[in-house]
Amino acid sequence: MEALYENIFRRKSTRNFNMDALDEASLLRVSDILHRAPNLFEGLDVHFHIIRDGSGFSEKATGIIGAYTKVKAPHFIVVTANTQSGFRQAVGYSIAHVILAMNDLGIATCITYPGVDKSVIEKHAQLEEEQEPVLFIAFGNPENPLELYPKADYYKRRPLKDIIIQGPVKRKYKFILEAVRLAPSSFNTQPWRFSVDGNRIHLMRVKLGFIKSKFFTSLNKIDMGIALAYMIIAMKSKGMKFKLVKQSIPHTDMEYMITIEIQE
Ligand SMILES: Cc1cc2nc3c(=O)[nH]c(=O)nc-3n(C[C@H](O)[C@H](O)[C@H](O)COP(=O)(O)O)c2cc1C
């Protein structure tokens, strides 16, 4: 967890890839990371399929919302799940571990939204029954090796005071929120908010207006899974003990997700 935590502060998305394939040893290491990726919920496993020939695939498989999704990369991972309740959060949780572990190996990544039919994906990856594609992770070497890691002023993120909707936050817990603040999110929307009550951190998602709702809400649920993973990675790296508990916390502008109860 120590290595994953450290990588929170030196990961960024790469959109310009060198189209040369990675060597076999690196692809094997990626495969190993995918096998070891943790799942958020028992009985809701997130699956991964590596597409080795990324150049042919990226032409067909990206582009539904304009240039944003158009990432060309030497390889892709197709992330799939059974679409039962909570699957988007589960996907976010697993991929957060994957991208940080890949970053630790010096492999560049970009999460992208799959703007194509399942039938196109199935020409390149054999999906198991009832598994639906949720996301892609483009990966490889960056075109410019210096762009693998973020520069000091890279992260455009909301300050803590904007994402903590209720406090105060004890000083010893601040690092958890500092870590999650840097998490990647779709369109960098950073939909997470925190209501902190002593040793309990309630994780909330900003509710979107009706027009924006359907598509962006789906993506934001993935973002929330990533946020939870970042918090857990931060706490585990410091050996903190905690429980995830579901409470009932109604809020007019926020959707309550889960509470992290830290053992003091
Ligand atoms: C669920 C999700 C979907 C994303 N989809 C795309 C995408 O389709 N195209 C893209 O270029 N970046 C995509 N991103 C990357 C975000 O734009 C990026 O994480 C965010 O702008 C923060 O930048 P950083 O990752 O460099 O820290 C996605 C990220 C997430 C979490």
Q: Are 27 and 259 in contact (CB under 8 A)?
A: no
Letter for the amino acid at 75?
A: H
In the chain, list all ranges with CATH 3.40.109.10: 2-147
φ, ψ at 245 (rounded to 5°) = -130, 145
Please give the Cα distance from 222 to 220 (Å, whole number): 5
Shortest-distance atom of ligand 1 to CA 222: 1
Shortest-distance atom of ligand 1 to CA 185: 31
Write the CA distances from 125 to 16, 25, 73, integer angstroms.
24, 21, 16
Beta carbon of 110 within 6 Å of any ligand 1 atom:
yes
Tell me how far the alpha carbon of residue 95 lies from the centroid of ligand 1, in angstroms: 12
Which of 113, 137, 153 should be mutated for ligand 1, with most atoms under 8 A from CB?
113
Q: Are 193 and 163 in contact (CB under 8 A)?
A: yes
β-strand pairing of 192-197 with 164-166: parallel
Tell me how far the alpha carbon of residue 189 lies from the centroid of ligand 1, in angstroms: 9
Beta carbon of 219 within 6 Å of any ligand 1 atom:
yes
Q: Which residues contact 234 (CB under 8 A, 6 or more apart)?
A: 5, 8, 175, 176, 179, 180
User: Per CATH, which fold does 160-262 belong to?
Assistant: NADH Oxidase (3.40.109)
pLDDT at 115: 72
Shortest-distance atom of ligand 1 to CA 150: 26
Please give the Cα distance from 225 to 21 (Å, whole number): 30
- What's domain 2-147's superfamily in CATH? NADH Oxidase (3.40.109.10)
Beta carbon of 13 within 6 Å of any ligand 1 atom:
yes
Beta carbon of 216 within 6 Å of any ligand 1 atom:
no
pLDDT averaged per 10 residues in sequence order, the chain, 264 residues:
94 96 98 98 96 82 56 94 97 98 98 83 91 95 95 95 96 98 96 97 91 83 98 98 95 95 96
Q: Are 186 and 154 in contact (CB under 8 A)?
A: no
pLDDT at 65: 47
Beta carbon of 133 within 6 Å of any ligand 1 atom:
no
In the chain, list all ranges with CATH 3.40.109.30: 160-262
3-state class of 27 per DSSP? helix
Give the bridge partners for 201, in sequence order: 196, 260
Please give the Cα distance from 118 to 49 (Å, whole number): 13
Residue nearest (by alpha carbon) to ligand 1 atom 31: 185
Tell me how far the alpha carbon of residue 180 lies from the centroid of ligand 1, in angstroms: 15
